[in-house]
Amino acid sequence: MECTCRDDNLCELTEYIKGVFNPEHPQSALIAILHHAQGMYGYLSRDVMEHIAQVTEVPAAEIYGVATFYSFFKHTPQGKHQIHVCMGTACYIRGGAKLLETLEDMLNIKPGETTEDMLFTLGETRCIGACGLAPVMMIDDKVYGRVEPEQLKGILDEYRTEMQA
């Protein structure tokens, strides 16, 4: 396993890989390695995936294949806060689509995109099991239930204020 680290983060990632990688079963630790890398960088850049390929000697195409197969791996820089609007059936029929549309207008981004100030990334989610509270959205790990479009500005402002504090 050769490492040509260009910065401390890559050295740390290399050390992690050395700890979990088993050359006998090169694919077995890939998901854990990609998770760890995403935790460090917030997303998986091409450079980071190429570094993983170089250290593990797993072909880069295989690394990209795994990273793009799972939706929880991100390939662009993510906002500080992740907004997910539930598009499950119960939420959808109780106004989830309207919530998403309002957020798109307020933030001027589409699902999958991040605001220019890097504060919010917008996304959709499937049912999170809180259908009784439909329509539901999450910001990071916090669940907001029975959300009305009129409440959205106040909710987002809480996160904007936190950034200025």
Binding residues for ligand FES (CB under 6 A): 86, 88-91, 127-131, 134, 136
The letter for the amino acid at 27 is Q
In angstroms, give the least distance from the CB of 97 to ligand FES.
12
- Nearer residue to ligand FES within complex by CB, 90 or 119: 90
- Nearer residue to ligand FES within complex by CB, 26 or 145: 145
Distance CA 31, CA 44 (A): 12
- Nearer residue to ligand FES within complex by CB, 88 or 123: 88
Distance CA 89, CA 157 (A): 28
> How many Cβ atoms from other residues are within 10 Å of residue 164's Cβ?
5
Q: Which two tokens stand for residue 79?
A: 């906002």
- Nearer residue to ligand FES within complex by CB, 54 or 82: 82
What angle, rounded to 10 degrees, do the helices at 8-20 and 46-56 form? 40
In angstroms, give the least distance from the CB of 142 to ligand FES.
14
In angstroms, give the least distance from the CB of 93 to ligand FES.
9
> How many Cβ atoms from other residues are within 10 Å of residue 20's Cβ?
12
In angstroms, give the least distance from the CB of 3 to ligand FES.
44
Sequence-distant (6+) residues with CB within 8 A of 132 are 145
User: Which residue's beta carbon is nearest to the bound ligand FES?
Assistant: 88
- Nearer residue to ligand FES within complex by CB, 17 or 134: 134
DSSP SS3 for 143: strand
In angstroms, give the least distance from the CB of 140 to ligand FES.
17
Distance CA 85, CA 119 (A): 16
